[in-house]
Structure 1
């Protein structure tokens, strides 16, 4: 059983998955910081700092006027928390946009690197002397006719 476990762990796809999960966790921290620290403040600037999280409708039960969503939920009332849903959708769209931009930037950088490698690996063309020799041979073949 230990041998089977070692073979399972040594498979490439298991190691790739582990690396992907670790990189994904680090990437999540980067994206979260970008959204929370850079993008949300800019959006807050344009929206006047409006936070929809505490917007809700009381479907049944008693909730004090102006109570936060937490207080409304704690009161046991049936709450339609449309603001929390809207903020979750907005945050998802922001995160998706940031991920799209980061992936696009990484792909562009990878393409540039691959093009450079292709140019470096491309076979060198003929030298100037070789081209002149080919032209000379072609002209010599014409004048012989």
Structure 2
């Protein structure tokens, strides 16, 4: 069985503690609970390694690394729960990133992806475009069958 790994990065316009982005930071626990109780949710990294993320992507970057049962589960969470209202406000809180900032890939059930792996997948997507190795929601790939 294969599950869907998801990784995305954002760069806040202001530092934590700034009133202009306070609502984002205040909502993260709520949004994380929404994800964790969603029927298609499998796992998420809860102890972010900001130092390693900054090494890969530069200062101030935030990220999400999670695992879902399938693409449909992730899309349902993103677009059919209160999460969508926070996504719509992203331009208020985050700097534009002019290249892919979200990557998806298939993993074996039971595998928890690392930040190193996720960063490599995002770099792969940026270099080669969508393919089975690394893709996005606009260009999804089905899991491979090994039967």
Q: TM-score, normalised on structure 2?
A: 0.24
Higher helix share: 1
Normalising by structure 1, report the TM-score. Answer: 0.24
* Rg (Cα) greater in structure: 1
Query: Which gives a bigger RCO, structure 1 or 2 (Cα 8 Å, sep 6+)?
Result: 2
Name the structure with the higher strand share: 2
